[in-house]
């Protein structure tokens, strides 16, 4: 779970070194005798030694920020760094082209690509916008045959791409697809059948279409190297017998996350085969037969007790709470527990959570109510990350959780670093309390589901609460705001949110000033996503000094006009300014529905669909 | 609840007082709702947007006068049917949950003053009072007293009146509704929950912590590619079959009750032909008879899967059943032994009443 979605634990990334127009760093070479190899009188020997030394040293440099910085020292360092970079991270697949990436980094072993903007997950953009993996896989197949690991987020991957992956990279080991789509079970079948060295196949929150191919059966016979198999997002039944055999012949398997078509009885059989698991997704956690009570139930408690290494538990897709006691034996060891699909009450949670003393990551549904959160606060003193999702994600429903649970968490879990909290009502007082109780907060995402909801006790806007967060939480890098917010809140953010890198705004602010405060005040801002807020062209122009330092800016249903966006596009040639309209709209409107703009070395992309206009 | 702000906007008051508008809008919106998605039609995210924009304006004018339920109720059925469009393979992208039907008032700016007849005839009626209101409010806002009018907003004063509503609403909402809010129409992508997280209540087989999952059917089953899964169902001894929509139910129990309902009338008619004259009477008498019918174990429910095999209903999880069942049969339990049935290996001696009707 810690690998998922959140890039808040990514280290600060300086602008990519290939965007040379942004960096005014001197290119003076501090290493004698290796200036571009021009100097004829120098014998090649010191050059060679130096480069070899550099290569060996730079191998130890893993952080991409450090590597970016190192590559700016001089051309020699640039060259060596490029040769020694084994993990290539590209935060926006359209910022560089595959050709450019493969030309510079020839020995890459791992590729990490991100595609669509996050708001696309909430249907704010028509499908087929882009972010295709295809050109990347083709380019890398030609240039970097030693590629072993691919990590994609929000990209479109086709079955052919999966086939190409499997066929072009002989030692391919790891494939992780997060929030991806475009492929199906037939692509998976080809992929698993050809990747004989496969260690990791993680499908996380991706859409997999059912081509009615039995992909589990396609894993090659014989001992498998599988260490991680995650397919809980696959919404189709799988061949359980084949899976059982696969697990039996995968002695290295540590992570297994099943989908909801695996019953608890089947889970038992798998756990018995794989007690060495460290991460387990339980599947449905209910029996397959509706009427099966007469049968002998397997001893689930013993099965769980046998998994002594289990630290991460998730699944519970169709939970029958009667079976929950089965997990008692391992609660004390758990560092990560994901109940976000389990519609359980506080009473059902308490016996579990009261044993989870080591818990650091907890995802849960608001069905546990404030009372359940109080129970969490009472026990989980090591909690670092909490996510509370709504069972009923509507604006007008009665919220089972409120500021009461929120404040309890802040008082009990002082080490909290990351929180995502959906609720219907909140107070400034509770948010201020959290800002004081949890100074280590790095990620603060509060979603008051009713739009423009004020503090429900005082009737005031939520400005002071969020203000306190940016003021008191000095390590804050990611912030998502909600509720009734005036420009004042953004003034606070601009003034105190000096480390904020990601900011999500929805239905907030009064005027352009709000956006100005943020763009002028937050020097580390990299990702800004705004929807349905009254910000116009003037506000957009106030960020011109900063846009090259950002990965992207998203503004939908704001008050931007065509002319305004065009001004930006003209002023900043290395910025790709996309105006996205609804798929069936023919003509260009004066008002811009969605603006998505990002820095890029390549200029306008050539795969833009009809509903995208690049200015 | 009349505050100073509301005095400034008499149109607001007018709109709120006009019952006809409420009723009219509800019925018009029902039309809109239906138009949103005939089953199987690819839903474009924008169509919802433009429909919703009109409705959004209405909502800002109205309070929660008994209208609260309408976005849920009228859309519930529709959403049940069309929500399943979020099936992956069809590449239809939009899960039309109740809040997907529209964008917010802000995004309505570009469209509010335009007539867009092809989107909805109903919107024409909606536009009338809306534009009046907008015009009224735009005028009010031309006064320089409003501290929140930024310079950049002046450009909109000529026709779009975008800004006025924007600045009006936060105010309006806090003044008119102290702890409650003005009712907003549902909005695309809000709250920001990914679609696979949206159907928790209906997917879980457990007794949900809150009230029954039926009321919360905001999306139906994402894995079901069809919006309506009508399958034929025949009862032994009755020559005329029925059709039942599997995707309208969430569990075997619901299905068996529904099948009970379906055939009770026909059963009664067969037993007492005179009762068919008055359908409701027939139903009543049938229900009196159906009482003992349900749970009596007299009938057994069988289904045919996509391979043509006949299988006892109740073995597999509900969702799996829905995706594989192609036909249903209601057979007399006494006849079962004479039939060749492909059931599961285990012999369940006491049949689960959920499977019987």
Q: What is the domain extent for residue A384? A: 319-424
Do A442 and A558 sit in the same domain of this protein?
Answer: yes
CA dist., res. B99 & res. B90, Å (int): 22
For residues A551 and B163, the answer to whether their CB atoms sit within 8 Å is no
Task: Write the residue in B106, B196, B315 that is nearest to A534 by C-beta.
Answer: B106
Last residue of a domain, one of A368, A397, A424: A424
For residue A300, is it within any domain?
no
Chain B touched by A537 (CB under 8 Å) = yes
Has residue A137 been placed in a domain? no
Mean pLDDT of A331-339: 96
- In tens digits, chain B (357 residues) has pLDDT values of 444 444 444 454 444 444 444 444 444 444 444 443 344 443 344 443 333 334 433 333 333 443 343 333 333 444 344 333 333 333 434 444 433 333 433 333 333 334 334 443 433 333 344 344 434 443 443 444 433 433 333 333 333 333 333 333 334 333 434 444 455 577 888 999 998 888 776 655 443 333 333 333 333 333 333 446 778 888 888 888 888 888 778 888 888 888 888 877 777 777 665 544 444 444 444 444 444 444 556 788 888 887 778 888 888 888 888 878 888 888 887 766 555 444 444 444 444 444 444
CA distance B56 to B107: 10
Across A112-139, average pLDDT: 94
Q: Are residues A450 and A560 in the same domain?
A: yes
Taking the C-alpha atoms of residue A342 and residue A368, their distance in angstroms, rounded to an integer, is 10
Least confident of A9-23, A194-208, A601-615, B11-25: A9-23
Helix pair A44-58, A75-84: axis angle to 10 deg: 50
Contact (CB, 8 A) for A312 and A4: no
pLDDT (average), residues A79-94:
91
In a domain, A565, yes or no: yes
Whether residues A357 and A448 fall in one domain: no
Within 10 A of A473 (CB to CB), how many other CB atoms are there? 25
Residue B219 near residue B201 (C-beta atoms within 8 A):
no
pLDDT at A536 over 70: yes
Residues 50-69 of B with CB under 8 A from A: 50, 68
Asked if A339 and B196 touch (Cβ cutoff 8 Å), the reply is: no
Residues A420 and A436 in one domain: no
Q: Is residue A173 part of a domain?
A: no
Q: Where are the beta strands (DSSP E) in B103-212?
A: none
Residue A96, pLDDT > 80, answer: yes
ipTM, 2 dp: 0.84
Cα A126 from chain centroid (whole Å)? 21
- A328 and A382 share one domain: yes
CATH at A485: 3.80.10.10
Q: Do B183 and A452 touch (CB under 8 A)?
A: no
pLDDT of the residue at A214: 94
pLDDT at A265 over 80: yes
Q: Are A290 and B354 in contact (CB under 8 A)?
A: yes
Q: Return the pLDDT at B236.
A: 82
Residues A377 and A414 in one domain: yes
Domain boundaries, chain B: 230-266+297-343
Asked whether residue A544 is domain-assigned, the answer is yes
**CA nearest to A290, candidates B68, B253, B106, B97:** B253
Least confident of A111-115, A163-167, B40-44, B271-275: B40-44
Test B197 with A340 for CB contact under 8 angstroms: yes
State how far the Cα of A503 lies from the Cα of A482, in Å rounded to an integer. 11
| A202: in domain | no
Based on the fold, state whether residues A487 and A522 are members of the same structural domain. Answer: yes
What is each CA distance from A330 to A19, A277, A304, A551, B36, in whole angstroms? Answer: 50, 12, 7, 42, 49
Q: Cα angle vertex B146, ends B145, B148, to 5°? A: 140
Count other C-beta atoms under 10 Å from residue A506's C-beta: 26
Question: What's the CATH number where A59 sits?
Answer: 1.20.1280.50
Residues A439 and A379 in one domain: no
Q: Residue B248: which of B211, B197, B214 has the closest Cα?
A: B214
Say if residue B217 is exposed, middle or buried (CB neighbours under 10 Å; 0-12, 13-18, 19+).
buried
Grouping H, G, I as helix, E, B as strand and the rest as coil, residue A312 is strand
Q: DSSP letters of B73-92?
A: HHHHHHHHHHGGGG-TTTT-
Cβ-defined contact of B179 to A184 (cutoff 8 Å): no
Contact (CB<8Å) B189/A123: yes
User: B88 touching A, CB under 8 A?
Assistant: yes
- Among the three residues A406, A424, A442, which one is the final residue of a domain in this structure? A424
The token pair at A176 is 């992780």
In terms of domains, do A513 and A417 share one?
no
- From B50, B88, B174, residue closest to A484, measured CB to CB: B174
Give the domain-ending residue among A372, A391, A424: A424
Tell me the pLDDT of chain A averaged across its residues: 89
Q: Using the beta-carbon criterion (under 8 Å), do A510 and B109 form an inter-chain contact? A: no
Q: What's the total number of domains in chain A?
A: 3
CA dihedral over A407, A413, A418, A423, signed as positive or negative = negative
In a domain, A68, yes or no: yes
Cα separations in angstroms, A352 against A161, A304, A323, A357: 43, 14, 12, 10
Per DSSP, helices labelled H in A249-382 are 264-273, 300-306, 328-331, 346-353, 369-379
**pTM given for the model:** 0.66
CATH classification of B230-266+297-343 is 2.40.70.10, yes or no?
no
Q: Which of B106, B219, B305 to mutate to test the interface with A (most CBs of A within 10 A)?
A: B106
- Please report whether residue A42 resides in a domain: no
**DSSP-derived pairing of the beta strands A149-153 and A174-178:** parallel
Query: Could you give the angle at which helices A403-412 and A428-437 cross, rounded to 10 degrees?
Result: 10
* Cα A572 versus chain centre, distance: 29
Q: Looking at the structure, tell me whether residues A340 and A417 fall in a common domain.
A: yes
pLDDT, position B118? 41
**Interchain CB contact of A130 with B (< 8 Å):** no
The tokens describing A195, both together, are 């990747």
Q: Distance between CA B24 and CA B122 in Å, rounded?
A: 9
Q: Does the beta-carbon distance from B152 to A512 stay under 8 Å?
A: yes
A359 and A449: one domain?
no
My answer on whether A486 and A394 are in the same domain is no
């Amino acid at each position: 779970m810690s690998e998922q979605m959140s890039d808040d634990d990514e280290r600060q990334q300086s602008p990519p070194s290939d965007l040379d127009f942004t960096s005014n760093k001197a290119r003076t070479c501090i290493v004698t005798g290796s200036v571009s190899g021009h100097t004829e009188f120098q014998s090649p020997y010191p050059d060679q030694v130096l480069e070899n030394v550099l290569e060996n040293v730079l191998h130890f440099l893993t952080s991409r920020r450090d590597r970016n910085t190192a590559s700016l020292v001089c051309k020699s360092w640039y060259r060596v760094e490029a040769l020694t970079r084994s993990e290539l991270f590209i935060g926006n697949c359209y910022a560089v082209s595959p050709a450019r990436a493969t030309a510079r980094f020839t020995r890459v072993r791992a590729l990490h690509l991100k595609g669509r903007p996050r708001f696309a997950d909430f249907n704010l953009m028509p499908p087929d916008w882009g972010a295709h993996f295809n050109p990347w896989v083709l380019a890398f197949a030609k240039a970097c045959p030693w590629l072993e690991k691919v990590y994609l987020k929000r990209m479109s991957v086709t079955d052919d791409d999966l086939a190409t992956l499997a066929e072009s990279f002989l030692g391919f080991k790891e494939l992780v697809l997060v929030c991806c789509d475009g492929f199906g079970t037939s692509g998976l079948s080809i992929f698993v059948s050809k990747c004989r060295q496969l260690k990791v196949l993680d499908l996380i929150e991706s859409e997999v279409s059912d081509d009615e191919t039995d992909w589990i059966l396609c894993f090659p016979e014989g001992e498998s190297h599988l260490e991680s198999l995650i397919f809980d997002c696959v919404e189709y039944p799988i061949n359980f017998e084949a899976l059982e055999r696969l697990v039996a012949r995968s002695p290295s398997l540590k992570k297994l996350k099943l989908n909801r078509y695996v019953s608890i009885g089947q889970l038992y059989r798998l756990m018995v085969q794989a007690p060495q698991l460290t991460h387990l997704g339980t599947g449905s956690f209910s029996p397959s037969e509706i009427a099966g009570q007469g049968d002998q139930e397997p001893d689930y408690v013993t099965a769980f007790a046998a998994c002594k290494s289990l630290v991460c538990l998730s699944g519970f897709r169709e939970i029958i709470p009667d079976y929950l006691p089965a997990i008692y034996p391992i609660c004390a060891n758990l560092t990560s527990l994901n109940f976000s699909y389990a519609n359980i009450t506080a009473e059902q949670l308490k016996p579990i959570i009261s044993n989870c003393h080591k818990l650091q990551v907890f995802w849960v549904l608001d069905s546990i109510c404030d009372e359940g959160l109080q129970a969490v606060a009472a026990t989980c003193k090591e909690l670092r990350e909490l996510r509370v999702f709504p069972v009923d994600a509507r604006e007008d429903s009665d919220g089972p959780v409120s500021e009461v649970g929120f404040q309890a968490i802040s008082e009990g879990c002082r080490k909290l670093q990351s929180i995502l909290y959906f609720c219907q009502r909140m107070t400034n007082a509770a948010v201020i309390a959290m800002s004081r109780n949890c100074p280590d907060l790095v990620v603060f995402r509060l979603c008051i589901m009713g739009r423009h909801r004020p503090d429900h006790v005082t009737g005031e806007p939520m400005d002071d609460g969020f203000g306190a967060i940016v003021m008191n939480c000095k390590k804050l890098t990611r912030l998502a705001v909600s509720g009734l917010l005036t420009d004042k809140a953004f003034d606070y953010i601009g003034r105190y949110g000096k480390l904020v890198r990601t900011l999500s705004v929805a239905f907030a602010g009064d005027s352009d000033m709000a956006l100005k405060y943020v763009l002028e005040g937050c020097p580390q801002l990299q990702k800004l996503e705004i929807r349905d807020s009254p910000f116009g062209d003037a506000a957009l122009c106030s960020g011109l000094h900063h846009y090259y330092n950002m990965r992207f800016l998203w503004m939908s249903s704001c008050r931007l006009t065509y002319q305004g966006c065009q001004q930006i596009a003209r002023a900043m040639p290395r910025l790709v300014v996309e105006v996205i309209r609804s798929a069936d709209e023919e003509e260009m409107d004066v008002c811009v529905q969605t603006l998505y703009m990002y820095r890029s070395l390549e200029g306008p992309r050539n795969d833009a669909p009809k509903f995208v206009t690049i200015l | 609840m009349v505050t100073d702000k509301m005095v400034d906007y008499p149109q607001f008051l007018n709109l709120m007082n006009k019952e006809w508008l409420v009723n009219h809008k509800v019925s018009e919106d029902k039309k809109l709702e239906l138009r949103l998605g005939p089953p199987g039609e690819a839903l474009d995210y924008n169509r919802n947007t433009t429909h919703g924009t009109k409705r959004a304006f209405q909502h800002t004018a109205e309070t929660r006068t008994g209208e609260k339920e309408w976005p849920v109720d009228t859309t519930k059925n529709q959403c049940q049917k069309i929500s399943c469009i979020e099936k992956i393979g069809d590449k239809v992208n939009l899960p039309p949950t109740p809040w997907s039907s529209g964008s917010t008032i802000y995004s309505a700016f570009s469209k509010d003053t335009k007539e867009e007849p092809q989107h909805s005839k109903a919107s024409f009626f909606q536009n009338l009072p809306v534009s009046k209101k907008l015009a009224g409010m735009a005028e009010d806002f031309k006064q320089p007293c409003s501290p929140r009018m930024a310079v950049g907003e002046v450009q909109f004063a000529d026709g779009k009146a975008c800004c006025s509503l924007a600045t009006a609403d936060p105010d309006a909402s806090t003044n008119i509704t102290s702890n409650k809010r003005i009712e907003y129409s549902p909005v695309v992508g809000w709250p920001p929950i990914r679609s696979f997280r949206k159907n928790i209540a209906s997917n879980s087989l457990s007794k949900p912590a809150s009230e029954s999952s039926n009321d919360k059917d905001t999306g139906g089953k994402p894995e079901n590619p069809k919006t309506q899964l009508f399958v034929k169902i025949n009862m032994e001894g009755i020559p005329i079959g029925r059709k039942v929509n599997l995707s309208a139910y969430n569990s075997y129990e619901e299905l068996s009750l529904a099948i009970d309902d379906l055939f009770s009338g026909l059963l009664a008619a067969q037993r007492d032909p005179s009762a068919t004259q008055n359908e409701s009477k027939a139903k009543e008498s049938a229900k009196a008879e159906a009482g003992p019918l349900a749970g009596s174990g007299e009938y057994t429910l069988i289904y045919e899967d996509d391979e043509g095999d006949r299988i006892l209903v109740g073995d597999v999880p509900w969702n799996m059943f829905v995706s594989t069942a192609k036909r249903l049969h209601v057979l007399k339990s006494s006849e079962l032994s004479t039939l060749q049935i492909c059931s599961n290996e285990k012999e369940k001696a006491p049949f689960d009443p959920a499977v019987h009707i």
